């Protein structure tokens, strides 16, 4: 799927082995939901909008509760990880975890090295590799499936000698989430930081494939439902068009997003029920 060009990122080269396992992620999510359910409830003035952000203090910002590494691990499940340049389904030069490179300058912002020697690549070499992969669109003219690239990423693996060091793809995804996605999502959804974790995960996945602006303009009913805290309706409005050569994975991704939002609806209902019990 098409991605948004990244900004300049700082890489920590964190190894993938440090990522939480699926079981650990599930346990963390259950723990977070339990804590939220038993947390002291704040009184809400009558008539207040449901999507108001929780109060923040300088000592304890709720922004710190967003687990960008866990969100990146979710994306890795669907996007995969590629350490070389390739053309995505729409013909854009891409690398990492679905990270679009809009230009040779974007490519040169990343720490490419030679596969054979491990030595850093020169800017001219990175530019040449970008142009070579970008020009390969002509290979699938006449072979396109519904206008899309019929080749998988592996088709491009040996076309250049340049690769990203281990850990760079994950670091890039985390950096982009923190800089390019979470801030505008907080602007679109003022209550984003207080949403149940499954809703945050679903919204981030939607934004990663559509772009935040694309999410706002193409899925207005989804956005409106999330702002109301109506995650059950959001689930019904979350279906993305499946690309022809990604139908099975795309369908599974839509189902997973739907299930996350339904889980968020159940958690929200449980918390509201407990809040009523406390007030009584």
Among left, alpha and beta (phi > 0; psi -120 to 50; other), residue 226 is alpha
Model confidence band, residue 131 (pLDDT cutoffs 50, 70, 90): very high
* pTM for the model: 0.71
- In this structure, are 98 and 149 located in the same domain? yes
- In this structure, are 89 and 162 located in the same domain? yes
Give pLDDT tens digits for 242-276: 765 556 677 899 999 999 999 999 999 887 777 66
Q: Is residue 71 part of a domain?
A: no
Domain count for the chain, please give it. 2
Give residue 277's pLDDT: 64
Give residue 34's pLDDT: 38
- In this structure, are 97 and 156 located in the same domain? yes
- In this structure, are 211 and 241 located in the same domain? yes
Give the helix ranges, DSSP H, for the chain: 22-38, 68-79, 104-108, 123-134, 168-176, 182-188, 197-210, 212-218, 220-228, 231-236, 247-279
Q: Is residue 142 part of a domain?
A: yes
Question: Which of 172, 138, 132 minimizes the C-alpha distance to 156?
Answer: 132
Give residue 243's pLDDT: 61
| Mean pLDDT rounded to a whole number for the chain | 80
| Distance, CA of 227 to CA of 191 (rounded, Å) | 7
Q: Is residue 279 part of a domain?
A: yes
Q: Is residue 153 part of a domain?
A: yes
What residue numbers bound the domain in which 200 lies?
189-280
Q: Is residue 165 part of a domain?
A: yes
Residue 18: pLDDT over 60: no
Section 102-123 average pLDDT = 97
Section 137-154 average pLDDT = 82
């Amino acid at each position: 799927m098409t991605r948004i060009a990244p900004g300049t990122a700082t890489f920590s080269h964190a190894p993938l082995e440090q990522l939480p396992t699926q079981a650990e992620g599930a346990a963390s999510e259950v723990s977070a939901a339990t804590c939220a359910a038993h947390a002291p409830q704040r009184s809400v003035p009558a008539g207040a909008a449901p999507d108001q952000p929780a109060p923040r203090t300088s000592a304890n910002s709720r922004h710190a509760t967003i687990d960008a590494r866990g969100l990146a691990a979710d994306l890795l499940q669907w996007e995969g990880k590629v350490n070389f340049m390739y053309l995505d389904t729409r013909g854009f030069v891409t690398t990492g975890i679905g990270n679009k490179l809009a230009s040779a300058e974007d490519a040169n912002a990343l720490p490419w090295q030679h596969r054979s020697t491990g030595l850093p690549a020169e800017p001219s070499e990175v530019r040449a590799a970008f142009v070579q992969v970008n020009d390969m669109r002509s290979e699938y003219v006449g072979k396109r499936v519904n206008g899309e690239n019929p080749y998988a990423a592996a088709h491009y693996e040996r076309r250049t000698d340049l690769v990203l060091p281990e850990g760079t793809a994950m670091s890039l995804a985390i950096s982009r989430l923190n800089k390019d996605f979470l801030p505008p999502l907080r602007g679109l959804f003022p209550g984003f930081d207080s949403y149940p974790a499954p809703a945050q995960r679903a919204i981030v996945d939607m934004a990663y494939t559509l772009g935040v602006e694309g999410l706002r303009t193409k899925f207005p009913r989804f956005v409106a439902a999330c702002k109301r805290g109506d995650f059950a309706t959001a689930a019904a409005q979350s279906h993305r068009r499946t690309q022809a050569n990604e139908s099975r994975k795309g369908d599974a991704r839509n189902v997973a997003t739907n299930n996350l939002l339904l889980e968020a609806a159940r958690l929200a209902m449980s918390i509201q029920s407990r809040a009523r019990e406390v007030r009584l």
